[in-house]
Structure 1
Amino acid sequence: MTKIKNAFANGKAFIPFITCGDPSLTVSEQLVYAMEAAGADLIELGIPFSDPTAEGPVIQAANLRALHAGALTDAIFEMVARIRQKTQIPLVFMTYANVVYHYGTRRFLQKAADLGVDGLILADVPYEEKAEFAKVGQELGVELISMIAPTSHDRIKMIAQDAAGFVYCVSSLGVTGVRNTITTDINAMVQLVKHEQEIPCAVGFGISTPAQAREMAQQADGVIVGSAIVRLCEKYGQDCVKPVADYVRSMKDAIRDL
Structure 2
Amino acid sequence: MSNTATTPSGQPLGISHRPSPTAAMFERLDNAGRPAFIGYLPYGFPDPEVSLKAFRTLVEHGVDAVEIGLPYSDPVMDGPVIQAASQIALNNGESINGVFRAVETVANAGGTPLIMSYWNLIYHYGVERFARDFENAGGAGLITPDLIPDEAGEWIEASDRHGLDRIFLVSPDSADERLEVVAKAARGFVYAASRMGVTGERNTLSSSPEQLVERTRRAGAGRVCVGIGVSTAEQAAKVGAYADGVIVGSALVHQLLDDSGRNALDEAEGLSRLAAKTDELVAGVAGAR
**Which residue is 2:109 aligned to?**
87
CA shift for structure 1 position 162: 2.7
- Tell me if structure 1 keeps the 8 A contact 2:43–2:102: no
Offset, 1:2: 2.8
In structure 1, how many angstroms separate the alpha carbons of the residues matched to 2:26 and 2:281? 16
1:37-61: CA deviations, max 9, x gaps? Answer: 2111111000111111111111111
The answer to whether the aligner puts 1:248 opposite 2:278 as a matched pair is: yes
Moved more, 1-10 or 223-232: 1-10
Choose which of 139, 164, 189 in structure 2 pairs with 1:142.
164
Relative to the length of structure 2, the TM-score reads: 0.84
Is 1:22–1:28's contact at 8 Å kept on the other side of the alignment?
Answer: yes
Q: Does 1:215 align with 2:244?
A: no
Deviations 1:147-201 (A, max 9, x none): 1111222221221123211111100101111122221422322222223435221
Structure-to-structure mapping, 1:105-120, within 5 angstroms: 105-120=127-142
Counterpart Cα distance in 1 of 2:156 and 2:46: 31
- 2:186 aligns with one of 163, 176, 189: 163
Match of 1:40 in 2: 63
Write the distance in 2 (CA, Å) between the matches of 1:80 and 1:168.
20
Structure 2 residue 238 is matched with structure 1 residue 238:
no
Aligned partner of 2:248 in structure 1 is 225
Return the alpha-carbon distance in structure 1 between the equivalents of residues 41 and 100 of structure 2: 15
Alignment of 1:174-189 (within 5 A): 174-189=197-212
Segment drifting more, 181-190 vs 69-78: 181-190
What is the percentage of aligned positions where both structures have the same residue? 32
Other-structure match for 1:69: 92
The answer (yes or no) to whether the contact 1:157–1:192 under 8 Å persists in 2 is no
Q: CA–CA distance in 1 between the matches of 2:273 and 2:25?
A: 23
Taking structure 1 as reference, are residues 189 and 75 closer, same or farther at Cα in structure 2, changes over 3 Å only? Answer: same
Instruction: Please say if residues 208 and 225 of structure 1, whose CA atoms lie closer than 8 Å, have aligned partners that are also in contact.
Output: yes
Distance 1:82 1:162, change over 3 A: closer
Q: Structure 1: any 5+ residue segments left out of the alignment? A: none
- 2 CA distance for matches of 1:157 and 1:131? 17
Q: Give the distance between the partners of 1:161 and 1:53, measured in 2 at CA.
A: 26
Task: Quote the Cα distance in structure 2 between the aligned partners of 1:83 and 1:220.
Answer: 23
Q: Write the letter of the residue equivalent to 1:255.
A: V
Pairwise CA distance, 1:87: 2.6
Question: Partner of 2:122 in structure 1?
Answer: 100
Contact 2:202-2:230 within 8 A present in 1 as well? yes
Alignment correspondent of 1:7: 25
Farther off after superposition, 153-162 or 132-141: 153-162
Say which SS state the counterpart of residue 109 (structure 2) adopts: coil
SS of 2:237 mapped into structure 1: helix
d(CA) in 1 for partners of 2:199 and 2:110?
Answer: 28
* Equivalent of residue 48 in structure 2, options 10, 25, 30: 25
Give how far 1:244 is off: 0.9
Aligned-partner Cα distance in 1 for 2:112–2:267: 25
Q: 8 Å contact 2:62–2:282 — kept in the other structure?
A: yes
CA RMSD of aligned residues (A): 1.6
Number of matched pairs? 257
